[in-house]
């Protein structure tokens, strides 16, 4: 029975990908096991509370990867507009690379379970909160007031999440390109306001 952290990591990575592609309820534990190549015993060893525990940990793993991406996008950008466009493009790149199978790693499970499971609802809330905070931090760094940065972070995340949903469903990048335009438009309107 493999009890190493490698087996735990493989299980979580496999679960995160499956939940992202086909949702939480559509992915059975035996699918996670098959995709991870880990023995059944290791799954029960690392996640004694079962699927819900794996789900919450997989959401946390995915959330942290996206948060890091947002922080890196801020580092690599010269202004707020480039920063937001970079975030959109990074998420769209995942979608395109996967043949429109991998959109937001949190949204599907959040919608399926937030009214049912306290553990999964909390994990999804934490994920979106982390991202909003990281976007807010970036916008503040590029000169927006704390108040504006807070509001624009929510608007931007909504725009990106909605565009990922439409792009995935339509199998088209048009909603992504229009989201970029919308975000530029929002920032310019804010700039003109002052």
Buried b / exposed e along 35-44 (16+ C-beta atoms within 10 A): bbebeeebbe
- Indicate whether 147 belongs to the interface with a second copy (CB under 8 A): no
Query: If we measure between CA atoms, which residue out of 32, 36, 9, 12 comes closest to residue 22?
Result: 32
Q: Which of 4, 6, 26, 40 binds a second copy (CB under 8 A)?
A: 26
Helix axes 80-97, 118-141, angle to 10 degrees: 140
- Indicate whether 89 belongs to the interface with a second copy (CB under 8 A): no
> Dihedrals φ, ψ of 133, to 5°?
-65, -40
- Which stretch, 9-17, 43-51, 65-73, 175-183, contacts a second copy (CB under 8 A)? 175-183
- Token pair belonging to 146: 């704390």
- Indicate whether 181 belongs to the interface with a second copy (CB under 8 A): yes
**Closest separation in Å from C-beta 1 to a second copy:** 30
- Indicate whether 13 belongs to the interface with a second copy (CB under 8 A): no
- Enumerate binding residues for a second copy (CB under 8 A): 21-26, 99-101, 103, 107-108, 110-116, 121, 124-125, 128-129, 151, 154-155, 157-163, 165-166, 168-171, 174-175, 178-179, 181-182, 185-186, 188-190, 192
């Amino acid at each position: 029975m493999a009890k190493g952290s490698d087996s735990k990591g493989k299980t979580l990575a496999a679960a995160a990908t499956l939940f992202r592609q086909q949702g939480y309820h559509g992915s059975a534990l035996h699918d996670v096991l098959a995709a991870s190549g880990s023995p059944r015993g290791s799954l029960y060893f690392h996640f004694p509370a079962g699927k819900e525990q794996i789900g919450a940990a997989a959401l946390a793993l995915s959330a942290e990867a996206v948060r890091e991406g947002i922080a890196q996008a801020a580092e690599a950008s010269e202004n707020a507009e480039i920063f937001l466009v970079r975030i959109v493009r990074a998420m769209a790149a995942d979608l395109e690379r996967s043949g429109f199978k991998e959109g937001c790693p949190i949204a599907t499970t959040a919608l399926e379970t937030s009214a049912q499971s306290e553990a999964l609802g909390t994990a999804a809330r934490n994920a979106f909160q982390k991202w909003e905070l990281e976007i807010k931090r970036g916008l503040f760094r590029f000169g927006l007031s704390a108040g504006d940065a807070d509001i624009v972070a929510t608007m931007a995340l909504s725009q990106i999440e909605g565009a990922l949903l439409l792009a995935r469903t339509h199998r088209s990048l048009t909603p992504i390109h229009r989201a970029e335009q919308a975000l530029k438009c929002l920032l310019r309107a804010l700039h003109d306001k002052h």
